[in-house]
Chains A and B, each alone.
Chain A
Amino acid sequence: MPATIVHKNEKPFQRIDVETVTLDIIENAMANARNEMDAVLFRTAMSPGIREQGDAFPMIANHEGKMVVGQFGSFITGFIQSYAGTIEEGDIFLTNDPYMCDGAVSHLPDWLVMVPIFKGGRLINWAAMFGHMSDVGGKVPGSLPTDAKTIFEEGIRIPPLKIYKNGELNSDVLDLILHNVRVPRWNKADFNAIVAACRTAGKRCVELAERFGDDTYISALQMMLERNYVAMREIIRMVVPESKQSFEDYICDDGAGLGPYTIRCTMWREGDKAIFDFAGTDPQAPSSVNFYLNEEMFKMFFGAFTINLFDPSILFNDGFYDLVDVRIPQGSILKPNFPAALSCRTHLLGRIFDVMGGLLGQGTPDAMSAAGFSDSPHFMYSGYDENDEWFQLFQIGFGGIPGRPVGDGVDGHSLWPGFTNVPNEFIEAYFPLRIETYESIPDSGGAGKHRGGNGIRVGYRLLAKGEISIHDDRWLTYPWGVNGGDPGQRSRKILKKTNGEEIILPSKCDNIKVEKGDLVIFDTWGGGGWGDPLERDLGAMSADIKRGLISVDGARRFGVVADANGVIDEAATEQLRASMKDSRTEALPLFNRGGTIAEIKARALAETGLEAPATPVWER
């Protein structure tokens, strides 16, 4: 039963034809309003995750709930369909339960605030934003327990509810929620910040409707959606073939001894409609690595990904959704059954982009990038400092951007828009640790005509007794290379105890005890290479060697002979490249995954120091 929207004014909006310039102006103003939401949020939020890393996503939808600007749209229509109560002026909705909002947010730490915007008694827009809270209670600090078996272990669940009603905060409910989290002041400030951001957007929408008139404004938003429909129809015709194409990638393990899990997607076009079918994707995991993937969100990923390839100036929205059909098998790791645990979905969320890259790229290999830094690895550290005060650090890792058609991958950067690291000096000032190393790892990017970006090594010297958690991936499977490029180097985490003992940490672990003086070395992975490494430009090679980004030995992967100053021995290089070329027995592969899963598993212990996981199977 859908929600009842209470309009004090029942007059319907009139569709009118808005001239292009006015439409362009409104489009521009909507983009500004969205940027303003970000600005308000980042300035007032308090948890380092949102404040410094920008782990929050805004959107503005039209009165029907269709996202007009934003990134991770479009859940409002689903919410209106499933919410049983009324939607009235002065209401603000809050939820964090993926199962109650059809995956609009995909784990409990993401708090979603939705604000219906009224003008003259009529609903004209929705502003919404979700942000990653540093803690929502549950069994471990940070609320991302890898070994959770159900969502009940992962923190407080908030069904969609009116946290504001008639403009009044429901402070009892907020107090109840905050009572269940470990650092309530962060949640409270971040919640306030998100609400302030949405209200700001609301003000802008009302101003625009006043300036242009309600009917012009509402019609213009509709036309913005239609604009996208037309543009995306062209793009879909270009990039999605009528014949079926499949691609698969993996997450390495589930933290509970099973892996790798396969994500398989088949894509084809019927008329103007693109179909993405995830049949062949592995079953849900017994741990929390499941990703409750909203079909609409996948459409958004697809649109955003392709639009950057063809015309990045288009203001992106929901208008094209009818052109895409997404099918995800129930009970799979991308659509697990309630009450499966979901907190550590970050690996699959990132990996979807590698799947999409490989899937779309097969038809247009020249436009394809290699496998990138498709994850947000987490490092968490908590305990009591020397003043006996509770501390809780949550850090996101960065890694290698892949080799791309436009050139080399960038070293140690982010997959996600707007993410930045938390300044190390900030961390050292507020947490009991020192970051002794913060640099990219030479040779960790895959070799290629355009090399993959290097991963990052962060060395954390821990200055208080406590516990750490790690959530990471690509320790077993490789970030693949394309068009003849090599895969990038995998991730690796080592705990060096003060007594000299070195422990290789698994990629996903919680509750690891640490002592004062311990050192954690966290190496993220490099991006895959693009194109034949033997064709890489020698000037670029020389610069990379001089800058310490490729070693003298590592240069030989490109068939380059050089000294430590980056001076290239051209004759020797020519010879080496020729002999490497001669020794090739077959054409370079489109995808280089560093071997089959069976081969990679067989080498796991020797190469990574960790046992290979067991293959998951569907239970019928």
Chain B
Amino acid sequence: MSYRLGVDVGGTFTDLLLINDDTGATYTAKVPSTPKDSSIGVLNGIEKICRTSGVDPKEIRKVMHGTTVATNAILTRKGAKVGLVTTKGYKQVLHIARSFVPGGLGGWVIFQKGELLATLEHTIEANERIAADGSVVTALDKDAIRRDLEVLRDKGIEALTVSLINAYSNGEHEQEIAAIAGEVMPNVPVSISSDVVPEMQEYERTETTVVNSYVRPEVSKYIANLERELKARLADDVELSILRSDGGLSACDSAADTPVNLLLSGPAGGVAGATYFCSRGGFDKVLTFDVGGTSTDVALIENGSARLRRETRVGDIAVRAPSVDVRTIGAGGGSIAFVPELTKALRVGPDSAGAEPGPAAYNKGGELPTTTDANVVLGYLPANQKLGGDMQVRKDLAEAAVQKVADAMGISLYEAAEGIVRIANEHMFGALRLISVEQGYDPREFALCGFGGAGPLHANALGMLMNAWPVIVPPAPGVLCAYGDATTRVKDEASRSLIKGFSKISDQEVLKILEQLTEQVQSSLARQDIPRDQQSIVWQADLRYQGQALLLTQDVDPEALREQGSQLLSKSFDAEHEQLFSFALEEEHELVNLRAIARAPRPNIAEKQFGSEKRELESARIGESEIYFQGKHYNALHYNRDLLTPGHRIQGPAIVLEMDSTTVILPGYEANVDKVGNLLIQPEHGGKE
């Protein structure tokens, strides 16, 4: 027997999923996260899941891990003390930050700028210069940089970034400085921009490489600790892989060297989990939304894989690292509702009651009305639901909180609660539009998948707004990220920045570069024991019309490119441009980046088998209560999700309860349980009267 383990560390809980590689049998566990050292929570979880499942830890050979260590280091500003080397004249590249002031006209009046991740007192300049074409204008002054690096070392920096002007076209000087730093400060990890992100734009490249340095000591320490502990407890040859922001798995060494690629490791796991269940249910075009306590993450899945983008945002930090195109908005269960004095409008979020004090209904000292409280008042979150274990819902406290909004607006308690939920839904709807309609996709062609603790509460209502059916609530929506971790495959990619018009580069040159990149990624996967003949290769090219800022990534089949040449790229680019913006131009196409991606085969995971016994739906009924919807009160039946089996059909209004999640089925809608256990919500009678 051998097992694989998916582990997702979230803000409140650490979720685990253990899968038997041969039978597909699964076991889940949930333990509190341990933010000070999250590896403790992971080890607690492993202890618990082995105890409850009876699996021998020595039989666990693979651990796939989604981690928020890198993200938290940024959000809490507890990263390393970073030193930065720039080209002479560019010391303030991060300080000036492209001169951008957020907000509208007059936004500068209130704009407050955060501390830099590499401060000016820890920034030095190298006397050197490389031109845009990669030629050396001024050779590096090695003696001077050595002296300045010694000063930086003596200031106690814990990580170093080297980011020089035009290094995207020639990284020679960066490498020379890295070598000198290796002598001056052998224990300090050095990140150079031409390795981490060899792309044009000095501010973004520097920021990205500095973020890499900022989280690097923390992440490497964490991964090394965890790996050591796992080796001691699990199988002797246990392999630890880390989920990257782009949804690929990465060996723990390379994850530790470029942790900037892990910033969205957590959300990427959720999207991967959703992809897993939705594609097994037969849906490969899906919009996903993951509603947590403070925020909602949305993503778009097309052809069974998540849409990617080449930028990652965490809080106010934006870096050039590929990630699953997850958009985050400040609307979650804890979002606070309020009524500003001046306009008497109803606003929800972005301020959140967070985990402490939390929504009023949690009885942990919170008094401000939140989305969760509104859900409690409306009956969507019934008082008999235990939240994440043993927390009891207090309807009276939720009502008192929501009443404040009702009083300020002069409306009834239920109207206020429904208003809050509608506004929160509208925020989520806005985020879903951002990744669908605004990218040229028609949501009516997509299914909608809601997960996370609160996603299934809002799922039906969002389906109504989006007109996207069915609405899918996958099994175990609260531990979906761990499913994603356990079911993704190893992936590596290599890219090169070119920035050349099509007329300036031949098809042969393009092919030659792509073949080189392919060799690079194939040998990287081969080193991770994935034979070349089992790897699948995809090529990508980032294109634009010469002069534009945008980049559209075109996936290319290697064979087709060899046959048809680069006109294949320009044609697919024109078509996508037309789809997105309603026009194409007769301008020269510019080839900005070429990329090769190698993937290992999907892990072979057996389907979960539902027993042959056909249970009556009645046997899953566990109660009933009143809900309020569109101005009316209804009686809703309660069902236990664990007792539902494929073929069951539940008519709304109904509420489906499980360990850590609650699904609402609204009046006029029904939910069917499909063959893999998904709840598929849609209008009654398939929308036909």
Contacts and interface: CB of A to CB of B under 8 A. Distances in A.
B103 A28 contact: no
Contacts of A419: 99-101
A236 B204 CA distance: 42
Interface in B388-414: 409, 411
A438 B96 contact: yes
Given A186-B547, A456-B96, A434 B343 contact: no
Given A20-B345, A28-B430, A459-B89, A410 B108 contact: yes
A438 B345 CA distance: 45
A548 to B, nearest CB: 6
Nearest to A396: B99
B628 interface: no
A588 B168 CA distance: 52
Interface stretch (B20-28, B171-179, B420-428, B641-649): B420-428
Contact of A412 (B96, B110, B548): B96
Interface stretch (A36-44, A156-164, A239-247, A608-616): A36-44
B347 interface: yes
Given A20-B409, A369-B109, A51 B549 contact: yes
Interface string B311-331: 000000000000000000000
Contacts of B345: 20, 23-24, 27, 227
A420 B100 contact: yes
Interface residues of A, number: 87
Interface stretch (B215-223, B479-487, B577-585): B577-585
A424 B204 CA distance: 12
A398 interface: yes
B202 interface: yes
A21 B96 contact: no
B108 A401 contact: yes
B90 A438 contact: yes
Interface stretch (A259-267, A275-283, A302-310): A302-310
Contacts of B202: 423-425
B106 A308 contact: yes
Pairs of residues from A and B, 3 with the lowest C-beta to C-beta distance, nearest first? A547-B120, A398-B99, A304-B105
B474 to A, nearest CB: 28
Interface stretch (B111-119, B232-240, B532-540): B111-119
Contact of B548 (A36, A46, A566): A46
Given A21-B422, A410-B108, A429 B200 contact: yes
Interface string A315-331: 01000000000000000
Contact of B120 (A227, A231, A428, A549): A549
Interface in A116-130: none
A215 interface: no
A52 B549 contact: yes
A559 to B, nearest CB: 23
Chief secondary structure at chain B's binding surface: loop
Interface string A278-300: 00000000000000000000001
A547 B104 contact: no
B685 interface: no
A602 interface: no
Contacts of A549: 120
A425 B105 contact: no
A439 B89 contact: yes
B121 interface: yes
B548 A43 contact: yes
A421 B98 contact: yes
Nearest to A40: B581
A439 B99 contact: no
B581 A547 contact: no
A314 B342 contact: yes
Contact of B110 (A71, A185, A308): A308
Contact of B104 (A44, A52, A304, A353): A304
A115 B591 CA distance: 34
A189 B581 contact: no
Given A410-B101, A434-B137, A192 B583 contact: yes
B411 to A, nearest CB: 8
Interface of B: 88-93, 95-96, 98-101, 103-113, 119-121, 129, 131-132, 137, 165-166, 168, 200-204, 340, 342-347, 409, 411, 418-419, 422-423, 426-427, 430, 433-434, 438, 499, 545, 547-550, 577, 580-583, 585, 587
A28 B346 contact: no
B91 A417 contact: no
B340 to A, nearest CB: 7
A411 B96 contact: yes
Given A32-B430, A407-B112, 15 more contacts: A20-B411, A189-B548, A401-B108, A406-B110, A411-B92, A413-B108, A417-B103, A419-B100, A424-B202, A425-B168, A429-B499, A436-B89, A439-B96, A459-B89, A546-B121
B419 A21 contact: yes
A3 interface: no
B549 A43 contact: yes
A44 B550 contact: yes
Nearest to A432: B132
A411 B95 CA distance: 8
B528 to A, nearest CB: 34
**Residue among B91, B104, B418, B545 with max Cβ neighbours from chain A (10 Å):** B104
Contacts of A46: 545, 547-548, 587
Contacts of A32: 430, 433-434
Nearest to A422: B98
Nearest to B410: A20
A505 to B, nearest CB: 20
Nearest to B467: A211
29 contacts: A20-B409, A21-B422, A21-B423, A29-B426, A39-B438, A43-B550, A46-B547, A52-B549, A192-B585, A304-B106, A308-B106, A309-B109, A312-B104, A312-B107, A313-B347, A372-B108, A404-B108, A410-B101, A411-B95, A411-B96, A417-B103, A417-B105, A419-B101, A420-B99, A420-B100, A436-B89, A439-B91, A439-B92, A548-B120
